[in-house]
Every structure is written in C-alpha cells, then in structure tokens.
Amino acid sequence: MTKILITGGAGFIGSNFVRMLSAKGGHELLNLDALTYAGNLENLTELEADPDYHFVRADISKRKAVEGVFADFRPEVVVHFAAESHVDRSVLDATAFVTTNVLGTQVLLDMSRQYDVARFVHVSTDEVYGSLGPTGLFTEESPLQPNSPYSASKTGSDLLVRAAHHTHGFDTVITRCSNNYGPYQFPEKLIPLMIANALEDKSLPVYGDGKNVRDWIYVEDHCEAIARVMTNGKAGEVYNIGGNEERENIWVVKKILEILGKSEEQIEYVKDRPGHDRRYAIDGTKIANELGWTPKHDFESGLKATVEWYLANREWWERVRSGEYREYYEENYGAR
C-alpha cells in the first residue's frame, strides 16, 4: 500500500484522479482540500465507505494545519492539484491565486521535504507558456510567458518546484496539461457552462470572435498520464500532456448545441476576456517517447460522453449552480 496525499481531490481533475487510483487499488489515499467554491465532496460520495480513502479539510497555505496532516498521515507521495484554477476569476481578483498557487505550493514543498516524501508530483498547465500564433506547439523547452494572473501564479509554483529539486535534490516531477473536459467539471469553465446554459435555454456567451483555440483532453486521459508520470517520470523533469485535439471555441459550442439538438440562436458573442490567450497546443512527443503515454479518447466521442454525463447528472450541476452543494459538507462532516 503506497500512501498518497492528493491535494485538491474534491475538485474536477483531482476527484477523477482519486476515483481512478482507488479503482486501481494498492494505495491508501488522503484527499486534502480546503473546499473552496470549486471543491465538492459530492464528487466522491461513492468512496466515503472505502477504508483506504480519507478526507481532511485544510488550506494548503496554512502551514500549521498542513504540518498536522503530514505528521498524522506520513505520505510517501504527494500529488498536488489544489489551486485556484479559473482565469476569469483571476482577472477580477488575483489575491487567492497568489496565496493558494504560490504560497500553498511552497508550504507543501517544505512539508514534503520535512516529512521525507519520496516524490512530489506537481500538476500544472500549458498556460504557463503563454499564447501561440496560428502555428507551432508548446514543448517542454518553450519559454515561460504567462499572460493571466492565473497562469502567472501557476508559473510561480512551477519555478518553486523546480527550485526545490535543484537546490535540495528533492524528487519532483511537473506535468503541464492542456484544457481538460469531462464529468464533474465546475460549470464556470467553457464546456460545462455551455452544456448547462443550453439545457436551461439560456444564452451561450462566446468571448470575442470565438476563434481562440484550445487543445482539449478528456480528464481520464490526463489522470492516466499523471499516474504514469508519478510512477515512471524522471526526477526533476517536466512532461507536457495534450489531447492532440485543437478546436476553435465556436466549433466546440456549436458541437454541443448539435449534440443536444438545440438552436445556434442561443449563441451570444460577448465582450472578449482581457488579455485572452489566442491559441494553446501541446507537443506531446516527450511523454509519448519516454513514458509510452498517448491519449485514448478522441474529442468528438469524449464530448458526446461528457454531454451525456451532464444530462444524466443534472442534479449534480443544478446543486452546484444553486449553491446547495455547499450544504453537503455541513450535513456529512459537521459545521465548519
């Protein structure tokens, strides 16, 4: 049994990763999550009775609380997902992004070294590389040129992880992934927002000209890639992870409407996001050649499966949109 501490396991990708590792077996998992607006324990209800899964509510930027968790659990591996993750929120106020993404990551690095963690997996994003023109791909050697407060704070965390390896010889690996989609994504991000709005006959707000390009990856593929890096990645290395599925936003929005049989009249072009990155696209050669990982899901079938999940789990996202999901923690884990 390997003891793995997962931060941010109540969020979108973290909860999919916890579910995947739990299904693989052979691990004792501790999910450390602050339960911000993005954290939802309803993402993991099926694991509550599992003796090899534990949850603790803690804020990664609070050193004392994090130290208590490390002292009790003594993790062998840390997989670090916890972050403020939404670009639009970082445009409005960057404070929590600096506290969680930068300070919180340093606290985790300090505690991981202090408690002899064997490997620290830092889950990062392709957004640290900035924006591409119409051609070219992000490689691990691309310069770090973040444009939003979100991506700047993630870049800060990547550099602190790099420094922990370089200065202290600490075993770290960094993953930089493209845009994820799939079950349990918070309906503020493009795909779940558009699905939910379409189903509620609301307008679908497309920023700018709708021609910004993202490289979409199904969340299960990302989780498999992280697991591969966790077990086989080389210490001190960075691995890009992509879906090889570049699409303009407007293509994605129209496809969702087509799958749902809804009218394109619901689309509303709105004012662009300030500093909106034009294009992201990943060169996944390194992880394919060195670790033998490539994505399994193509975008069209993954998107269809995702739309079906949101149709079948309407209660989940309605409780998120109404705010009722916040009551779940109090009901099941006591008052805050």
b/e per residue 272-304 (b: at least 16 CB within 10 A):
eeeeebebbbbbbebbeeebebebebebeebbe
Q: Are 147 and 275 in contact (CB under 8 A)?
A: yes
Q: Are 39 and 8 in contact (CB under 8 A)?
A: yes
* 247 contact choice in ligand TYD, ligand NAD, none (CB below 5 to 8 Å, kind-dependent): none
Residue 264: CB minimum distance to ligand TYD, A: 15
From the list 33, 127, 215, 277, the catalytic residue is 127
Residues for the chain: how many in total?
336
* 36 contact choice in ligand TYD, ligand NAD, none (CB below 5 to 8 Å, kind-dependent): ligand NAD
* 61 contact choice in ligand TYD, ligand NAD, none (CB below 5 to 8 Å, kind-dependent): ligand NAD
Residue 185: CB minimum distance to ligand NAD, A: 7
| Residue 309 makes contact with ligand TYD by CB under 6 A | no
Q: Can 126 be counted among the known catalytic residues?
A: yes
Burial class of 65 by CB neighbour count within 10 A (0 to 12, 13 to 18, 19+): middle
| Residue 156 makes contact with ligand NAD by CB under 6 A | no
Give residue for tokens 């990708």: 13
d(CA 280, CA 247): 10
Q: Can 127 be counted among the known catalytic residues?
A: yes
d(CA 165, CA 122): 12
Closest to ligand TYD by CB, 68 vs 205, is 205
* 60 contact choice in ligand TYD, ligand NAD, none (CB below 5 to 8 Å, kind-dependent): ligand NAD
Q: Can 46 be counted among the known catalytic residues?
A: no
| Residue 193 makes contact with ligand TYD by CB under 6 A | yes
Can you state the percent helix, strand and coil of the chain, rounding each to 5?
A: 45, 20, 35
* 153 contact choice in ligand TYD, ligand NAD, none (CB below 5 to 8 Å, kind-dependent): none
| Residue 186 makes contact with ligand NAD by CB under 6 A | yes
x/- letters, 124..143, toward ligand NAD (CB under 6 A): -x------------------
| Residue 179 makes contact with ligand TYD by CB under 6 A | yes
Closest to ligand NAD by CB, 119 vs 154, is 154
Q: For strands 238-241 and 172-177, give the pairing.
A: parallel
| Residue 100 makes contact with ligand NAD by CB under 6 A | yes
Candidates 207, 251, 309, 328; binder of ligand TYD (CB under 6 A) is 207
Q: Are 181 and 191 in contact (CB under 8 A)?
A: yes
* 214 contact choice in ligand TYD, ligand NAD, none (CB below 5 to 8 Å, kind-dependent): ligand TYD
Closest to ligand TYD by CB, 58 vs 253, is 253
Based on its alpha-carbon atoms, the radius of gyration of the chain, rounded to whole angstroms, reads 19
Count of positions on this chain that bind ligand NAD (CB under 6 A):
30
Cα angle 90, 139, 137 (rounded to 5 degrees) comes to 80
Q: Are 70 and 111 in contact (CB under 8 A)?
A: yes
Tokens of 183: 């079950």
d(CA 182, CA 219): 6
Phi-psi region for residue 130, left (φ > 0), alpha (ψ -120 to 50) or beta?
A: left
Which residues in 65-84 contact ligand NAD (CB under 6 A)? 81-84
Interacting residues with ligand TYD (CB under 6 A):
87, 179, 189-190, 193, 205-207, 212, 214, 249, 273
Annotated catalytic residues are: 126-127, 150
